[in-house]
């Protein structure tokens, strides 16, 4: 797999990345969040290449639904790295942050405030 990926360049991964995105979307739709191989997205991140925000947001959602909240936040941040205002990545980052309690100071009351902000769509307050 490494040799196959090494022959690719970030600008030639579109079809493979789309196939991964479609597989992730199907899995989410079917409520099947078992581990799924998605090497192209991981390779792009390792290479420092920008990710399409729809892919990054979907990876973040898949990780969050699996309970992997730090991974979800990392994928959302990858999408926000080049598109700071993407609403889907911001939403996933807010939800992962709120669910994990990361960045929440002040205990349960602050966690409730974070959750309420995320639920009403106030992502600036939630993150």
| pLDDT tens by residue, 47-67 | 888 999 999 999 999 999 999
The rounded percent of the chain whose pLDDT value lies above 70 is 79
Rounded to whole angstroms, how far apart are CA atoms 81 and 5? 23
**pLDDT of res. 122:** 78
**pLDDT of res. 123:** 73
Q: Where are the domains of the chain?
A: 2-126
Closest CA to 24 of 50, 80, 63: 63
Rounded to whole angstroms, how far apart are CA atoms 80 and 103? 18
* The CATH fold of domain 2-126: 1.25.40
pTM for the model: 0.74
Rounded to whole angstroms, how far apart are CA atoms 27 and 115? 26
């Amino acid at each position: 797999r490494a040799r196959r990926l090494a022959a690719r360049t970030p600008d030639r991964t579109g079809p493979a990345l789309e196939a991964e995105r479609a597989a992730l979307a199907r899995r989410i739709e079917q409520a099947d969040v078992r581990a799924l191989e998605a090497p192209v997205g991981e390779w792009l991140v390792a290479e420092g290449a920008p990710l399409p925000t729809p892919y990054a947001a979907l990876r973040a959602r898949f990780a969050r639904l699996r309970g992997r909240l730090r991974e979800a936040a990392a994928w959302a941040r990858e999408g926000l790295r080049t598109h700071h205002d993407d609403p889907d990545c911001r939403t996933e980052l807010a939800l992962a942050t709120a669910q994990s309690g990361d960045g929440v100071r002040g205990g349960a009351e602050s966690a409730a405030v974070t959750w309420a902000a995320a639920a009403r769509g106030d992502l600036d307050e939630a993150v």
